[in-house]
Amino acid sequence: MSTISASAVKDLREKTGAGMMDCKKALEETKGNFEQAVDWLRAKGLSKAAKKSGRVAAEGLVSSYIHAGGRIGVLLEVNSETDFVARNDAFQDFCRDVAMHIAALGPQFVQQTDIDESTREREKSVLKAKAIEEGKKPEFLEKILDGQIKKWASEICLLDQKFVKNPDVTVGQLLQELIAKIGENIVIRRFTRYELGEGIEKKKEDFAAEVASYAKQ
């Protein structure tokens, strides 16, 4: 497959309004053919989704998910442009699935812009100390830390996480697909996750496997 240039991705994004990763995927799928990539995005509904992202979403739904036995609970607010959409089955199913995902994987933020600077700097300090301890060369340290911080941020942000019921897509991609399907801007605004008892890390891993197994049934 030919290499897809950054300028081609940029041009496609400017023409369609679709996200950068979606534009790159479209060009890869069409072997770099620009017009076919435009049609690919239109067929997927992704260009329409991007253009709706600036519209105000003030209605919506507060959804909840409680794991069997009451061990883990999630409250999730998802906003839509109209109350009518909030009553749509696809919208409600999406809210329930995302709440289940949050229960399973325990993200800390909705998106990377929500990460406050103090949290980011604290993580960077820990990673820097670890890199120095491992003997990483000082001249490569900043580049190493930049990559590690990006990986860390994607792992703790909901929209960047791989969807627990289908790891082939992220929660963000799932959201864009719903926007394209429904025809309104939809925003995951906030969530709160509660977990009972100690041993959180071990529980999280066990529960994630359990949810994944349930999703395949």
Kindly indicate the confidence band of residue 94, based on its pLDDT and cuts at 50, 70 and 90: very high
CA angle 78, 123, 20 (to 5 degrees): 50
6-52: which CATH topology? Helicase, Ruva Protein; domain 3 (1.10.8)
Domains of the chain: which residue ranges? 6-52, 59-111+157-215, 116-154
Residue 19 pLDDT exceeds 80: no
* pTM, entire model: 0.66
Residue 32 has pLDDT above 80, yes or no: yes
pLDDT in tens, 96-149: 999 999 999 999 999 988 999 889 889 888 888 888 787 777 777 778 888 888
Percent of the chain scoring above 70 in pLDDT: 82
Mean pLDDT value across residues 176-185: 84
Q: Among the listed ranges 27-31, 52-56, 88-92, 163-167, which one has the minimum average pLDDT value?
A: 52-56
The predicted structure's pLDDT at residue 90: 92
Residue range 59-111+157-215 forms a domain whose CATH class is alpha beta
Residue-wise burial string across 146-174, b where 16 or more C-beta atoms lie within 10 A, e elsewhere: eebbeebbeebbbbbbbbbbeeeebbbbb
